[in-house]
């Protein structure tokens, strides 16, 4: 997982912005990507992330120069040297490792509610021929439970329909949704992710303790800054 440190971008993209098309200098983004590629040892396969639950299986063809990105929010591979990557600036990156296969998922609240982690886990287990309890899951930095403020529509996306008390205006919410004020809740995004993969049978779950919005020196955060860069979480098999 990259942070915002160690690159050459300036201004609001300072300094390791890894996504073009945001207003950053294209040459700086290219240099940042080249530095990351040199560290990884292979080019990253990037997705056109659409906040959905589609999972694609990557091969060496997807890593070839000029290959168009897939419209998807998760990817798996069984081929060494094919680097699965996710770009984030508040959404939760989730990396999976199984015997002979790896995966990466982009889990914003829409994708999480839509089942992107369950779909990724199913595809990974099918590709590797393993059970969920043989999979290790790592949760990366995302907007944390003290900073992620949402309305009732987000709760409803998770099948939760909280009631508002008529006398005080306070609201009540279930596990992972903390009442903030009338009509607003704080959401524990990594907690929701832990719950979802745990219910599926995953036992080895780590990470999920870093808040992008609370640490401006280390992380980009779209909710905090609006105009900002993107970080990358990546996972790959070695020979």
CATH number of the CATH domain containing 228: 3.60.140.10
Whether residue 15 is predicted with pLDDT greater than 60 in this model: the reply is yes
Residue 139 included in any domain: yes
pLDDT, averaged across the chain:
94
Domain coverage including residue 219 = 11-145+204-235
Residue 40 included in any domain: yes
137 alpha carbon, distance to own chain's centre: 12
Residue 138 included in any domain: yes
Residue 77 included in any domain: yes
Domain count, the chain: 1
| pLDDT score at 174 | 72
Q: What is the mean pLDDT of residues 7-22?
A: 97
Residue 169 included in any domain: no
More confident residue, 172 or 108: 108
Whether residue 162 is predicted with pLDDT greater than 50 in this model: the reply is yes
More confident residue, 168 or 158: 158
Residue 164 included in any domain: no
Contact 228, 220 (CB under 8 A): yes
Whether residue 168 is predicted with pLDDT greater than 50 in this model: the reply is no
Residue 182 included in any domain: no
Peptide bond before 29: cis, by omega within 30 degrees of 0?
Answer: no
With a pLDDT cut of 90, the percent of the chain lying above it is 92
Contact 45, 102 (CB under 8 A): no
* Confidence grade of residue 163 (pLDDT, cut at 50, 70, 90): low
Residue 180 included in any domain: no
Angle subtended at Cα 159 by Cα 153 and Cα 163, rounded to the nearest 5 degrees: 65
* Confidence grade of residue 167 (pLDDT, cut at 50, 70, 90): very low
Q: What is the pTM of this model?
A: 0.94
Residue 191 CB-half CA count within 13 A: 12
- How far is 196 from 116, CA to CA, in rounded Å? 10
Burial label for 105, CB within 10 Å (0-12, 13-18, 19+), is: buried
Within 8 A by CB and 6+ apart from 87, the residues are 18, 19, 46, 49, 106, 230, 231, 232
């Amino acid at each position: 997982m990259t942070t915002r440190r160690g690159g050459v971008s300036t201004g609001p993209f300072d300094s390791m912005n890894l996504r073009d098309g945001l207003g950053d200098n294209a040459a700086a983004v290219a240099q940042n990507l080249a530095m990351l590629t040199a560290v990884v040892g292979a080019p990253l396969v990037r997705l056109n992330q659409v906040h959905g639950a589609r999972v694609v299986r990557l091969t060496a063809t997807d890593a070839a120069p000029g290959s168009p990105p897939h419209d998807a929010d998760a990817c798996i591979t069984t081929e060494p040297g094919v680097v699965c990557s996710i770009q984030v600036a508040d959404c939760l990156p989730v990396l999976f490792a199984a015997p002979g296969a790896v995966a990466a998922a982009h889990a914003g609240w829409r994708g999480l509610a839509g089942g992107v982690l369950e779909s990724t886990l199913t595809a990974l287990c099918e590709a590797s021929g393993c059970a969920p309890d043989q999979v290790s899951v790592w949760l990366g930095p995302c907007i944390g439970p003290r900073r992620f403020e949402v309305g009732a529509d987000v709760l409803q996306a998770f099948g939760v329909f909280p009631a508002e008390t008529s006398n005080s205006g306070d609201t009540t919410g279930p596990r992972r949704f903390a009442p903030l004020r009338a009509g607003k809740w704080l959401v524990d995004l990594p907690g929701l992710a832990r719950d979802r993969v745990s219910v599926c049978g995953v036992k080895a779950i780590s990470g999920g303790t870093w808040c992008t919005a609370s640490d401006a020196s280390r992380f980009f955060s779209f909710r905090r800054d609006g105009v900002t860069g993107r970080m990358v979480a990546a996972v790959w098999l070695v020979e």
